[in-house]
Structure 1
């Protein structure tokens, strides 16, 4: 029987430490999820990829390959059904597969801020009450607090991303098999916090380049 209450206990956090060469796709559908055509792409179901696309709504996001055939695959968790937003034929680009993952170990806290809806406030002369209409959403930032462990393998990877400001992706694997993909720009504090009788920690910050995607377990 599945747990009644979802708990993060046992979750594992990873960072993409290396990517394979970009794979071009020659077609993409308006669907949920969209299907791309890429001859002999060589990807397997579940492979995590970063996207480069002419569609701003999905470019610089991370997703996983699904329903794979020799020349096509679906982009799990994405939706491109609105032709007004996703102009047919304009979304061509590249899939950039993750080739190596490295665990970010000894995580003590994981928090997400932003992503909330902003509103335009309008008041007409004849109105007693102002009105609101939705506009944009605030950008999302992920903060990960980790035990200070300078010899851990992931530290150099994160520090390199912090220096180069290259785009990468974090993957949070939940105990129930679900995965959350967080694409973005990673940085890490240069020195740990130090307070008597408290754990020394550093903070990894991820400024997301696009909305996260959740891949539900089969």
Structure 2
């Protein structure tokens, strides 16, 4: 149990990717182990984007915790449940993230979506409704940055806004914990202009998968 302040957290956007490498097998294990094609180049501690037939793994950004020739352990991915991760169907590909660019001058962040949706129902003989959870609404993260179009983070966010290609996003908290997202990035290039307030631009992340979190 504990409480923390976000002061000092830093946010990074992926600025480079390696070539896509086929993943021919993914084990039902904790952590899941993916078998990559030869000469994949992924090393321990590298961050990779995963494309997989498993919906709960697809589009996630994960870290390689161990590498044995072509077998790469996907840190934090527990695929032991064959009902959630059907055996033999998780194959796909990975891309190594080769560089990160810091998003500077962040004023505030806020999250949206992710709310649990429900189906309400009632039988004829009942005098009260029941409900069961269904899906969750689409999730997003809004980031307000002080306006400076010359900063490398702004330039990269602008590029992501224009090319409409997903980017990995990494948040490093003050205690060195890490939060990883894969998202489409949108940038409102018109800054806010309010008397006696910092001019700011809004960046929006539209998330493609649930975040992956590491303690360090």
What's the TM-score once normalised by structure 2's chain length? 0.94
> Aligned in 2, Cα 1:150/1:34: closer, same or farther, shift over 3 Å?
same
Aligned to 2:25: 27
Provide the rounded CA distance (Å) in 2 between the counterparts of 1:68 and 1:174. Answer: 26
Aligned to 1:117: 116
Q: Map Cα deviations across residues 142-179 of structure 1 (whole Å, 9 max, x no partner).
A: 11111001110122211111111101111000111111
Give unmatched runs, 5+ long, in structure 1: none
Q: Map Cα deviations across residues 4-63 of structure 1 (whole Å, 9 max, x no partner).
A: 531111111000011111122221111232111124433222211111112222111111
**CA RMSD between the two structures:** 1.5
What's the TM-score once normalised by structure 1's chain length? 0.93
Aligned to 1:101: 100
Larger displacement relative to structure 2 (187-196 or 24-33): 24-33
Give unmatched runs, 5+ long, in structure 2: none
Provide the rounded CA distance (Å) in 1 between the counterparts of 2:3 and 2:211. Answer: 22
Q: Which residue, out of 2, 11, 14, partners 1:13? A: 11
CA contact (8 A) 1:35 1:75 kept: yes
State the shift of 1:80 in Å: 2.0
Larger displacement relative to structure 2 (77-86 or 134-143): 77-86
Aligned to 1:144: 143
Provide the rounded CA distance (Å) in 1 between the counterparts of 2:210 and 2:3. Answer: 25
